[in-house]
Structure 1
């Protein structure tokens, strides 16, 4: 593990850009960017187009280490190059931005009010490839829909069990048990979730570092105590479906919580924009998310 990158994540000012839409979410991401399904005929063409989009974002002068401390990639993006370098190497060597990899294979069916991670039978091989490609950490997303103690415990136990495997492979795991922002008992789910996270943190080896990626809480500064745990390198927030302005406003009320936004980051960007228009829009987006993250 790169100690310099860990220090950057732990103390850096800014936010983490989530550029990790994959599989089923890629057509939606391309459509938001102004590329309709008739522009590609198969997955290969689709992923080439999404890599062009991500390359345009990453190579933009707006996308820099002054505002962005890390970026989460999809496996396909990790395996591709930008300007002759593997994407992770370009991010770190040319931009000073720490590279992460989304590793999950999607969500299982709803049970006990939650969706745990689908099985990942090839995880060991993927982690080895990530290390070889100079990835720093990983991300995996589960979703909590209801304040069901049994279900939430399953989510957190699964996330931490996999987190220990990821750490053993030489990577820092982002534990992401998202609470659905539309849940009718979101506040209660967050209370149960925090209790389960605290229990799991107590089982970690003294030298183990993790990150937490959580929905912006209903109660401001609700996760402040988790930020103080010595195992927690950083607590970041997902936008969860909020429009960017609302996500920023909610985020800004939580001291120490920084963004890890995906859809909210790319909001307003278009394939049809000139480079000048594209960079201006991305600059505004990044500036607003940065300011909410350092509040």
Structure 2
């Protein structure tokens, strides 16, 4: 296989199903050698009897590509470290990290248990941080040794992380945290040849199958707007050398649409040059709000 990722080694977390699987197959189709990570758990994080990572590796190899499975828990130091080691020991290098692993434990805030909060934060946010940390340490060492890499990281946020989503306080907070992590990593790692971006995808996966159940194309109709494979081309491009100069950006990806998201930035502002009284502050805030753009609506509101 050859393509825009020819010769690159790519790690994809949560790659046994859904978006991760689509990403792994797409990278392999473009010439990458892929480390397919998947813990093999259900939607709620409980152990699953299947071995999805091995199945994806088999698909890639059957198509003539190269891949290896990794079943470690990337939300632990040992699991994240062994993931990066798997790429280096198997293929001798690491070029791209795609952080994708996640699951849901949806509840309204008043019903959200502490364990449900912690579990989602652990998998989504810590599960992004630890692989990124260990990959970045490798790339920094390479750069300091005079072998500056052409490294890429693609993180997975969500529209819920950008706008919020009713019934998903834990998930929304974790996905918003991933955007913040992306911005910091982009700034800190640029000197080592690393570009870091994030996507906010919308696709039909195990996590969203009920949401998008009615959007599947009927047999013979062609384009399935909610197929996870629609998201992967942008991820592959961001993970390739062809994306040079693009870092610290967030892209919303859905069906055939790609949108560059523009985050928090200064809007209307007034400076009194002295301390406000509460009444003055309130009056001024109301005036500024009248001049500001209306924010996007929280999903499900």
Verify same fold: TM over 0.5: no
Between Structure 1 and Structure 2, the one with more strand by share is: 1
Larger radius of gyration: 2
TM-score, normalised to structure 2's length? 0.35
TM-score, normalised to structure 1's length? 0.36
Question: Larger relative contact order (C-alpha < 8 A, sep ≥ 6)?
Answer: 1
